[in-house]
Amino acid sequence: MFMSTYPSVLLIYTGGTIGMIENPETGALEAFNFDQLQENMPELKRFNYRISSYQFTPPIDSSDMEPALWAKLVKIISYNYDYFDGFVILHGTDTMAYTASALSFMLENLSKPVILTGSQLPIGMLRTDGKENLITSIEIAAAKNNDGTAVVPEVCIFFENLLLRGNRTTKINAENFNAFRSYNYPSLATAGIHIKYEYDKIRKADPKQKLIPHYLFDTNVIVLTLFPGIQENMIRNIFHTPSLKAVVLKTYGSGNAPQKPWFINLLKEATAKGIIIVNISQCSTGSVEMGRYETGMHLLDAGIISGYDSTVESVITKLMFLLGHGYTPHKIRRMMNNPVAGEFTIPEM
């Protein structure tokens, strides 16, 4: 095995605004390659680290991200796992929270940092936020405790000045540098003059356990957002989609939904067929509590599972991940009720 006394980081460049340049003719942002990115970031050479890179060819806008590319990221990380202290993934901001959530489930027993970052302005622009995001992410990916273990052995998003747990994070701003938020879990670190780690909030890992990479996904899932006036025939058509296996139901407030018999019957019929329905709230902050109001109780009776305070990104990727492994609906329901990578908190009763 290659041993180095320098901290070592593998930089994986998938694409996104951070590595884009303005097309002089159309004005549209287009991806450029990693060499051009490095030319715009001479600061990378000032690190006393061994920094290697892997680039997606061609780089992609993250709107084109999909499970096959998550599998490619997992493959790159697992092949290089023993040779680097940490991993930084440069990624478009639009679907970064989905990728971070998916990777948190795919990298079982992870004991090294995997930090996703990007920027709102391309790295070649004078006011870019990309340089600071990238430099701090590299530092976090290499950070070690006195005993040699990683300070942040989990999949995170670093943006602006916050390190957030990846599967708790959502993109909330298309304009500001402060583009991500973790509403229901505190930040893991804040970068100011120093990087201040919140040690008690960071997941504990056991480096003796071998990394188990997972690659399988089943995308027969849908997110259904309720709204006053939603029509029976629309919902019926969705639930009768022949290959449908799971639905993320975005309900109101603390997990409430209409009490109309046709609605509850459709849900009951679907769960009886083995379709898994997970209830998450349209509110960003707080948790689903189906026993709180009568409107929520009906959902419990219909066999709906609580997503507690999960993000939609984490629930949909976890469902695709579990379905991809061919588990029975019973096992998936059980696994959805237990956090596997710190993705939700079960409230104390």
Query: Based on CB atoms, which residue is closest to ligand ASP, 7 or 92?
Result: 92
Check binding of 187 to ligand ASP (CB under 6 A). no
Check binding of 16 to ligand ASP (CB under 6 A). yes
Query: Based on CB atoms, which residue is closest to ligand ASP, 91 or 214?
Result: 91
- The interface with ligand ASP within residues 89-108 (CB under 6 A) comprises 92-94
Query: Based on CB atoms, which residue is closest to ligand ASP, 94 or 139?
Result: 94
Helix (H, G, I), strand (E, B), or coil: what is residue 23? coil
Check binding of 8 to ligand ASP (CB under 6 A). no
Check binding of 124 to ligand ASP (CB under 6 A). no
Q: Name the one range near ligand ASP by CB under 6 A: 47-55, 76-84, 86-94, 215-223.
A: 86-94
Residue nearest to ligand ASP (CB): 92
Give the span between the Cα atoms of 78 and 72, in whole angstroms.
10
- The amino acid sitting at 221 is V
CA distances from 167 to 77, 102, 193, 330, 348 (A): 18, 8, 27, 23, 21
List the one residue from 8, 17, 187, 310 that touches ligand ASP (CB under 6 A). Answer: 17
Q: Which of 17, 93, 136, 317 is the catalytic position?
A: 17
Query: Based on CB atoms, which residue is closest to ligand ASP, 93 or 251?
Result: 93
Check binding of 30 to ligand ASP (CB under 6 A). no
Give the span between the Cα atoms of 166 and 11, in whole angstroms.
17
CA 331 to chain centre: 23
Shortest approach of ligand ASP to residue 95 CB, angstroms?
6
Concerning whether 17 is annotated as a catalytic residue, the answer is yes
Shortest approach of ligand ASP to residue 116 CB, angstroms?
11
Shortest approach of ligand ASP to residue 68 CB, angstroms?
17
Q: Which residue has the tokens 């379709």?
A: 275
Give the span between the Cα atoms of 54 and 90, in whole angstroms.
10
List the one residue from 8, 40, 62, 251 that touches ligand ASP (CB under 6 A). Answer: 62
CA distances from 256 to 226, 290, 295 (A): 10, 7, 5
Q: Name the one range near ligand ASP by CB under 6 A: 60-68, 99-107, 125-133, 272-280.
A: 60-68
Burial of 103 (0-12, 13-18, 19+ CB in 10 A): buried
Query: Based on CB atoms, which residue is closest to ligand ASP, 16 or 113?
Result: 16
Joined together, the tokens standing for residue 97 give 């929270």
Helix (H, G, I), strand (E, B), or coil: what is residue 260? coil
CA 63 to chain centre: 14
Total number of residues binding ligand ASP (CB under 6 A)? 11
Give the span between the Cα atoms of 4 and 19, in whole angstroms.
29
Give the span between the Cα atoms of 125 and 272, in whole angstroms.
55
Interacting residues toward ligand ASP by CB under 6 A: 15-17, 61-63, 92-94, 118, 120
Active site positions, annotated: 17
